[in-house]
């Protein structure tokens, strides 16, 4: 059975989640080129955001206080960053439209069905192509490529190209 701290949100988490929800209309309606404003909003909510990061207004980020984004990254339209645990994105990474990073799941065999929080690390220079899914506890090595619509549930070595569901290695970058 998992420790209680991994199952439930803290009261502070609930307060932060409500405040973050209140900011979402301003986030979603902000003009595309307001990169600096969205970086500032993420920082206000505890995210560590590098210089030159471009987060599109249609990106959905849950619990940004668990998010670290390296410099010059792009997080495109309709990306979902579900940051139940720390999500770290390295420098110069690109998350293409519709890609999803999910740092949480459930203990399916536990009758209480607790939430499990497992961190995700995306290395420097990684490209996560359109509609790809990166699961909890996964690390993507530097300069790796995750192909469109791939489902990655195991870590990927640096410089590796993976595609498919489940993701499989098809080459090197």
Domain boundaries, the chain: 4-164
CATH classification for the domain delimited by 4-164, as one of 3.20.20.10, 3.30.460.80, 3.30.70.1450, 2.160.10.10: 2.160.10.10
Residue segments in the chain with a per-residue pLDDT below the cut of 50: 1-6
Which pLDDT tens digit goes with each residue over 4-39? 444 567 888 889 999 999 999 999 999 999 999 999
Can you tell me the distance from the alpha carbon of 39 to that of 164, in angstroms, rounded to the nearest whole number?
32
Sequence-distant (6+) residues with CB within 8 A of 59 are 75, 76, 77, 78, 79, 80, 81
> Which pLDDT score, from 0 to 100, does residue 8 have?
67
> Which pLDDT score, from 0 to 100, does residue 2 have?
43
Residue 146, beta-bridge partner list: 128, 162
């Amino acid at each position: 059975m998992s420790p209680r701290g991994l199952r439930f949100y803290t009261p502070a988490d609930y307060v932060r989640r409500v405040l973050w929800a209140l900011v979402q209309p301003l986030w979603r309606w902000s003009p595309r080129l307001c990169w600096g404003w969205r970086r500032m909003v993420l920082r206000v909510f505890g995210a560590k955001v590098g210089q030159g990061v471009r987060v599109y207004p249609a990106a959905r980020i849950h619990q940004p206080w668990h998010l670290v984004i390296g410099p010059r990254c792009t997080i495109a339209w309709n990306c979902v960053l579900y940051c139940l645990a720390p999500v770290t994105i390295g420098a110069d990474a690109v998350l293409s439209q519709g890609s999803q990073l999910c740092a949480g799941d459930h203990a399916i065999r536990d009758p209480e069905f607790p939430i499990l929080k497992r961190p995700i690390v995306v290395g420097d220079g990684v490209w996560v192509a359109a509609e790809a899914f990166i699961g909890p506890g996964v690390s993507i090595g530097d300069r790796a490529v995750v192909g469109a619509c791939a489902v990655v549930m195991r870590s990927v070595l640096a410089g590796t190209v993976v595609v498919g569901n489940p993701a499989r290695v098809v080459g090197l970058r």
